[in-house]
Amino acid sequence: MSNVLNGDDLDLIFRCARTHNVWLDQPVEDALLQQVYDLAKMGPTSANMCPMRIVFVKSREAKEKLKPALDAGNVDKTMKAPVTAIIGMDIRFYDKLPKLFPHADAKSWFKDLPENALEYIALRNCSLQGAYFMLAARALGLDCGPMSGFDNAKVDEAFFAGTTIKSNFLCNLGHGYPSKLYPRSPRLGFEEACKVV
Ligand SMILES: Cc1cc2nc3c(=O)[nH]c(=O)nc-3n(C[C@H](O)[C@H](O)[C@H](O)COP(=O)(O)O)c2cc1C
């Protein structure tokens, strides 16, 4: 068995994977959302802190709750997407470290840090997990539409009130219309973005 993905797999996850804005009227089962999470959760985070928390907004009622927080350009596609994942982060991620990093007292490394330091750490690791999440979704045949154009405070109030979770970004999920895609924008070449020293 080869231990590298084949070309079709790489196309699915990277080369042909696009950010979608127009969605087919095709539902996404909850079981598939669970499979996506169960892959994404395996990606690494510092001290295995796993700060990402997700709310899958699926019902009409929940979509209506999300709507007032969205930037105008993100309303229509989000209301029509089969699912919108709110990728959130628990600023008190350290409470779970006795379970997640049992071989050391990792909770003591973080619990007395100021809020802005905790948020910085949570944001870094949650954003990584959000990226693992999108790759997992694509690997399981879903299309993604990530968005940061929304009012975080409104989303936090509507979905995370009374918790220590804050929203990071949103990600529409479903099956996109390939014919409605904009032309792919260029990426930086290796020489522009990287150096080997
Ligand atoms: C964190 C993040 C935030 C984004 N925010 C928005 C947004 O608010 N609205 C939008 O239409 N697209 C948004 N995008 C989509 C990007 O513009 C898109 O992913 C990028 O241009 C690459 O497109 P491609 O995947 O089709 O190549 C966002 C993407 C990411 C990863």
Provide the pLDDT for residue 1: 56
Question: How many whole angstroms separate alpha carbon 191 and alpha carbon 194?
Answer: 6
DSSP 134-152: HHHHHHTT-EEEEE--B-H
Question: How many whole angstroms separate alpha carbon 138 and alpha carbon 11?
Answer: 10
Q: Is 74 in the pocket of ligand 1 (CB under 6 A)?
A: yes
Distance 85 CA to ligand 1 centre (A): 14
Mean pLDDT by 10 residues, the chain (197 residues): 90 98 97 99 98 99 98 98 98 98 98 98 98 99 98 98 98 96 97 98
Q: Determine phi and psi for 161, rounding to 5 degrees.
A: -60, 140
For 171, other C-beta atoms within 10 Å of its C-beta total 23
CA distances from 155 to 60, 70, 71 (A): 16, 9, 12
| Nearest ligand 1 atom to alpha carbon 149 | 8
Provide the pLDDT for residue 77: 98
The amino acid at residue 189 is G
* Tokens 């209301």 -> residue: 79
- Bridge partners of residue 145, in order along the sequence: 172
Distance 131 CA to ligand 1 centre (A): 12
Side by side, the strands of the sheet bearing 165-174 are 52-57, 83-90, 165-174, 143-147
Provide the pLDDT for residue 110: 98
Q: Is 169 in the pocket of ligand 1 (CB under 6 A)?
A: yes
Distance 115 CA to ligand 1 centre (A): 28
Distance 197 CA to ligand 1 centre (A): 31
Q: In a 3-state reduction of DSSP, which class is residue 104?
A: coil
| Nearest ligand 1 atom to alpha carbon 181 | 26
